[in-house]
Structure 1
Amino acid sequence: MKGDRVEIVVDAGDTTRTYEVVAGRAGRRVETAVRRGVVEVSEVTRSGTVVRTARFMANRVLALVEQPVPREDGTELSGRTGRPLRDVPES
């Protein structure tokens, strides 16, 4: 959904660098995938067309933070299914 974003913190040798991928238009979403030692973050349209992609070596990624935009009804949706996230009861 528009406004969803993912921050990626990467080890760049003597320092760290932070990158951000944002769903910039209505109907777009941000998807993350880890495949064969590569972290891939993509901005995707409703039809599934990839608009842009950021790729990082998995052993260099320090943090991957997904920040969904709050929805109108106050719930946050999970990434792939679109179902509302549930609170886990405390034990």
Structure 2
Amino acid sequence: MKGDRVEIVVDAGGTTRTYELEATRAGRRLDVTHGRGLVEVTEVTRGGTPTRTARFMANRVIALVEHPAEQRPAAGEVVTLRRSA
């Protein structure tokens, strides 16, 4: 869903690099898979077609944080507009 975001921190030989991937359009989501020494983040359409893929070596990944999109607006995001009489 648009707003899905994944942050990946990778060891880059003495320093770290942070990558942020985000679903770019409505109806797309991010899928995270890992296996055989790779961590893969793929942006997928509603129909299941992959559009973008990022691959990282699993032994270099320090942290992977998934931030799912909000289903409903939070209480602080809802603004009530009133007309003055």
Q: Same fold (TM over 0.5)?
A: yes
TM class by smaller structure: 0.7 to 0.9
How far, CA to CA, are the matches of 1:5 and 1:73 in structure 2?
17
The structure, 1 or 2, with the larger RCO (C-alpha pairs under 8 Å, 6+ apart) is 2
Tell me which residue corresponds to 1:24: 24
1:52 deviates by 0.5
Q: How many Å apart are 1:73 and its aligned residue?
A: 7.1
What does residue 79 of structure 1 align with? none
Structure 1 unmatched ranges of 5 or more: 75-91
Residue ranges of structure 2 left out of the alignment (5+ in a row) = 75-85
Alignment of 1:1-91 (within 5 A): 1-72=1-72
Q: Which amino acid aligns with 2:10?
A: V
User: Computing the radius of gyration over CA atoms, which structure comes out larger, 1 or 2?
Assistant: 2
Following TM superposition, by how much is the alpha carbon of 1:34 offset from its aligned partner in structure 2, in angstroms?
Answer: 0.3
Residues matched between the structures, number: 74
TM-score, normalised by the number of residues in structure 1: 0.77
The verdict on how the C-alpha distance between 1:46 and 1:36 changes in structure 2, with shifts beyond 3 A counting, is: same
2: distance between equivalents of 1:69 and 1:54?
A: 19
Instruction: Give the whole-Å Cα distance in 2 for the aligned partners of 1:62 and 1:72.
Output: 31
Q: Percent identity?
A: 69
Partner-residue secondary structure (3-state), 1:59: helix
Q: State the one-letter code of the partner of 1:47.
A: G
